Structure 1
Amino acid sequence: MRYLSALLLCALALPRAQAAGHSIEVLHWWTAGGEAKAANVLKQRWQAQGNRWVDAAIDGGGGGSAMLVLRSRTLAGHPPQAAHLKGVELHEWARLGFLRPVSDLARRGQWDMRLYPFVSSTLNHQGQMIAVPVGIHRINWLWLNQPIFDRHKLTPPRTWSELLLVASKLKAAGITPLAMGDDPWQLAILFESIALGEGGSDFYRRAFVNLEPKVLTGEQMQQVLRRFHSLRTFLPANHVGLKWNQATQMLIDGQAAMQLMGDWTKGELIAAGEIPGQRIRCLPAPGTAGRFSYNLDSLALFRQPQSRQDQAQQRLAELLMTPEFQRDFNRLKGSIPVLADMELNGFDRCGKDAAQALQRAERDGSLVPSVAEGMATPPRVQQALQEVLANYFADANGDAAETAQRLAQAIRAVQAEWQPGAEH
C-alpha cells in the first residue's frame, strides 16, 4: 500500500515539475557540423535546468533563409521567443519595436563590467541593450593545409602579392589553391579581407561604414577590385554551389591548400577530429596582421503576447552570460567569449591568437565591423554590395573602374529608396 501511495505521489508531482520548467523556441542558422554541436551545448544546458527546447534551425550560410522565415513569422504575429540576430539588422528590428530590451538584465548582471566595450556599444540602441551577446568571430583568417605547403616547400603568404605567387605555384602543381564556393556571401568575405589587407582600417571604414562615394569609386577601391578579380582562376573546378563547410572539407582532405573564411571554420575542423592551428594552420588574412574584422553573434528576445514567457527569456539570457556556457559554446563554434576577463584555458591556439588580436585591435583602433556578416551596413546595402561583387567576379572581362561606379550607384539607389519619407 505504501508502495502504491508513493507511485501516486510521484505521478501527481510530475506535472508540477514539468510545469516549473520553461519552454523556449530559438530561431538560428547554426546548422553546419561545428555550429550544430555548439548550438547543442545551449540546448543541453537549457534542458538540464528542467526546461523544454524548441529548435527552429534554418539551413543556409549567412542567415538569409533564416531572416526570411523570421520576417514571415513575425509579421504573422507568432515570432520565436529568441532569434539569432546581429549587426545593423538587429537595430532595424529594435527600431520597429519587435524586440524586448534586456537593459534591466544587463544592469543586474553588471554586463558593462564584464563585456568588451565594443560589444556593449554594438548592442546599444537608443540607450537600451537590445540583445544578449553570444560570441565574437574574427573574419579575416587565412586557413592553410600545412602538409601541402611543406611538400611543395612554400611559405605561407603574408601579402596578397605573395598569395598570388603561391596560388600560381600550387595550380601549376595540380592543386586547387583556394577552397571557395561562388555564392555572394563567401565572395564578400574574400573581398573584405582583401580590402582590409590592401587598403587598411581607415580606408575600410570610409568605404564600408561611412559609404563615402569618392572612396567607393576611387583608385584604391579599383585596386582592391582588381586583386579580388585576379583570384577567380584559383577556385575549385566544382566551385559553383559549393558551400563554405564543403570548402573547408576540401582543405581538411588535402584537395585544396587554402581557404579565406571566418573562424567558424574551426568548428568544422574540430568536428573532423582536427586540432586547429596544427595540421590546418590559422593566420591573419594577407596584409591584415594587427587588424580585426569582427562579427558579433547575439540572441535577440522578441516581445511575446503572454507575459509568462518573459521569465523563460530572462532565464535564457542569464544562461547565455555564464562563463561555463561561454566557454563550451565558443570552443565548439570557433569564436571568442564575449566576457573580456575570461581565462581561455582549453581553447586552441587559434582561439587564443584571436583573443590577443582582438584586444590589440580594440586598443589600436584597428577593429572594424564585417561587411559580409552585416555588421557594417544595413541588409539592403549589404545585398547590393554582394550582388555587384558576385557579378563582377563571375565576369571574365570584368572592369574594375566600371564595377567601382556600380558599387557606388547601387548603394545610392538603395539609400534613396529607403530614406525616411520615401515612397515604398
Structure 2
Amino acid sequence: MTPTQKMTSGAGRVLGGRYTLLTPIAQGGMGEVWKARDRVSGHIVAAKVLRPELSGEELSLSRLRLEARNSMSISHPNIANVQDSGEEDGIGWIIMELVEGFPLTDYLRGGTRLEPEYLMPVLVQVAMALGAASRAGVVHRDIKPANILVRPDGVIKLTDFGISRATGQVNLTAVGMVMGTAQYLPPEQAMGEVATPIGDLYALGVIAYEAATGRRPFTGETQVDIAFAHVNDPVPPLPDFVPAPLADVILHLLEKDPAKRPESGSAAVRELAGAAKAMGIPVTPIPLPVPKSVSRSNVPRTPVQPSVPIVAPVRHKPRRTLPEELLRPPEGLVARPRPASDPQVRIFDEVDPAPPSSGPPQMLSQQLPAAAPLPMRTPLPPAVGQGT
C-alpha cells in the first residue's frame, strides 16, 4: 500500500467530534496534512495529524503540542492561523486555516529568480511575521521557502512552527543535536548556540539571496558541509543585476555575527522598505504569476507538515578532509542510519529542491557525542598523506 493509499484510508475520520477528514494533501516524517470540514462552522480547514505509527510516541506528541501552543500565541495576518488542537488515543492533531496558494519553493524551482517588484513585498511580509513571532517570544528555527506560502493575491503565510521554541520552554532537542535545515541554518545555530530571532533573520537573508540570484549562497556535498560553509565561508558576491539597495540588505541579513544583523524583525522591515523605496517599488502585496513548474489546476495548498531536520553539531570547519577514523565517533554513540521511510528521518528533495548549482538538500537524523571545544574558524593542517 502506498503512503497516499494509507492516508486515504483515514478519510471520514472525525477529530475531536468536530473535524471530518476529507482528502489527504501532504505527508511528512511526523505528520499528515488533510483537507477537513469543520462540522460546527461548515468551513474547510487544514488538519495536521500525527502519523499512526507514531501513536503514543511522547517526543512527537510533545513537538506537536509545542507547535500548536507557539502558533496559537501569535496573531498576525502573515502567519497561518492555528485554530484548535487535541489528542485522541495517542494521536495528536492541529487544525489551521487552509491556505490557497503555492510554497515559495515552487517559485524558485530550477534556479528561477524573482524580480524585485515581486520579491520585495514577499520579504517585507516574512520580516513582519518574524517580528510578530519575536514579540510573542517565539523563534521559528526553520525559516525556508517550503514554509512560506504565497496566496494568489500576493499575501504570504508563514507556516510550520514544528521545531519552534518559545521563551522558557523545555528544550526537546537531544544533547549534541542542532535543529534546522542546513541550507538556511544560521552560523551560530550551526555552532550549537541557542536559537534566537536574529537567526531567523539570517535564514530570511539566505532566502533573499536565493530568490534574487537563482542560487543559494552556500552549498556542499552533505548537510554538515553546508553548515560549515555558513560558519566559515564568505558570502559570494551578488551579481550586478541585483539592485544595490537590495544587495545591501541581503548582505546585512547574512552577517556572520548576529550582533551585526538587523536587531529585530521590525528593523529588517524598515531596511527592506527603505530599499524598496530607493528602487521605486511598493511593498504592498501583489499577485505573483503561477509558477511555471506547477499545474494551474493544482492551486489549493496547505502548510507543510512539521519537520524535524537535524544536523550534526558543528564546532569548526576543517578546511581539508580528515582521515575517516578521526571523524567517526566511538561505537555505540551514533544513531545508526535509518531508511528514508523511518518517521525519524527526513530527506528533503521534493519539498525543498536545490537549484541546478547545488546538490539536493538532505536532512538526516544524526547524533554525535559532545565534542571538546575547538578554535572556531581555524583551518586544520593537512591530514597525513594528503596534499595541501
> What TM bracket, shorter-length normalisation?
under 0.3
TM-score, normalising length from structure 2?
A: 0.28
Identify, as 1 or 2, the structure richer in helix: 1
TM-score, normalising length from structure 1?
A: 0.26
Which has the higher Rg, Structure 1 or Structure 2? Answer: 1
With CA pairs under 8 Å and 6+ residues apart, which has the higher RCO, 1 or 2?
1
